Amino acid sequence: MKTFIIKRLIQALAVCLVISMISFFLLFLNADPALVLLPPEAEVEDIAAFKKQMGFDRPIIVQYLDFIGKVIFHADFGNSFVAKVPTLKLLAERVPATLKLTASAVLIANLIAIPLGILAAVRRYSLLDNLSTLIALMGQAMPLYWLGIMLIIVFGVWLGWLPISGSQTLPHLILPAVTLAAYLLPANMRLVRSGMLDVLNQDYIRTARAKGAGEIRVFIVHAFKNAAIPLVIITGLQFSILLGGTVVTETVFAWPGLGRLAVNSILMGDYPVVQAIVIFFSLCVVIGNLLADILAAFIDPRIRQE
């Protein structure tokens, strides 16, 4: 198990390094940061002086090596061009809001998807199974921004039941969390259904029934425990991916998280903040994959042996 974890950690570090390199070069090739940050009427001499002051006059590879060296050895992403404060301070202020939104969405999605998926597998080709298929198709087809806007119009404007922006209270969390959960729910529900259908045909399920185990115990203890392995893996992947997917939802609902900070930083040319957010999201995806692999190996010994 230790060897398994060490290999995954080495792969994770390599992936993060490659992503940081690609994102750094793409950001600086997209536009000259000096031209973005300085006013349009800035003189050529002012632009040259600003580039020298900020280090933008150096070769791009030298800038990257300097940047990644500070990140690795000092955890220093530099200061925000706009806020004039350390970039990590800005991220630390926004991370809790994004984590709360993402965790709530994953929890809501699985609380609904797991029982519906089990029922759909138990009652195969029934009305419930057909409805779950329809819900899955609709959920995958709806864009997040459209669903968010519809929820705002119905529950925030027409009915006035829930606030449509901000994060001050628990009701502020409901609409953005439901919007994100609606993206996860269909895939998780169909994954549970397919896993249960595969497991219910195994010999040990028939043996459990032959020994007199009740149907609820068969479905929950014997069948779902083994069918849950793909769900565990996909949930780990979804949680990390959703951290990046919150960009749209946080923008629609004015949620003060990393996604909204990323959009504002891109618009204002605040490259240190954008770079730090990209690396943070990359780390989350890599760590999510790593934890999913470890959990799957812990649940199923065959994965450890492979």
Does residue 168 carry a pLDDT above 70? yes
pLDDT the model gives residue 221: 63
pLDDT tier, 304 (very low <50, low <70, confident <90, very high otherwise)? low
| CA distance linking residue 161 with residue 62, whole number of Å | 54
Calculate the alpha carbon distances from 46 to 17, 51, 210 in Å: 34, 9, 84
Residue 11 CA neighbour count, 13 Å, CB half: 12
* From 32-36, 67-71, 191-195, the region with the lowest mean pLDDT: 32-36
For residue range 63-89, list pLDDT tens digits in order.
888 888 888 888 788 888 778 888 888
Measured between alpha carbons, how far apart are the two ends of the chain, in Å? 11
Residue 305 has pLDDT above 60, yes or no: no
pLDDT at 47 over 80: no
Q: Tokens 């629609």, residue?
A: 252
The residue whose two tokens read 């030298």 is 62
pLDDT tens, position by position, 199-216: 777 666 667 667 666 666
Cα R_g (the chain), whole angstroms: 24
Q: Which residue has the higher pLDDT, 151 or 120?
A: 151
Which of 28-42, 43-57, 138-152, 184-198 has the least mean pLDDT?
A: 28-42
- Which is more confident, 239 or 22? 22
d(CA 288, CA 238): 8
**In whole angstroms, how far apart are CA 286 and each of 90, 241, 243?**
22, 10, 12
**pTM of the model as a whole:** 0.77
- What would the 3-class secondary structure string for the chain be? CHHHHHHHHHHHHHHHHHHHHHHHHHHHHHCCHHHHHCCCCCCHHHHHHHHHHHCCCCCHHHHHHHHHHHHHHHCCCCECCCCCCEHHHHHHHHHHHHHHHHHHHHHHHHHHHHHHHHHHHHCCCCHHHHHHHHHHHHHHHCCHHHHHHHHHHHHHHHCCCCCCCCCCCHHHHHHHHHHHHHHHHHHHHHHHHHHHHHHHCCHHHHHHHHCCCCHHHHHHHHHHHHHHHHHHHHHHHHHHHHHHHHHHHHHHCCCCCHHHHHHHHHHHCCHHHHHHHHHHHHHHHHHHHHHHHHHHHHHCHHHHHC
Chain-wide mean pLDDT for the chain? 78
Q: How many residues does the chain have?
A: 306
pLDDT number for residue 296: 67
Query: What is the rounded average pLDDT of the residues 30-45?
Result: 70
**pLDDT score of 231:** 76
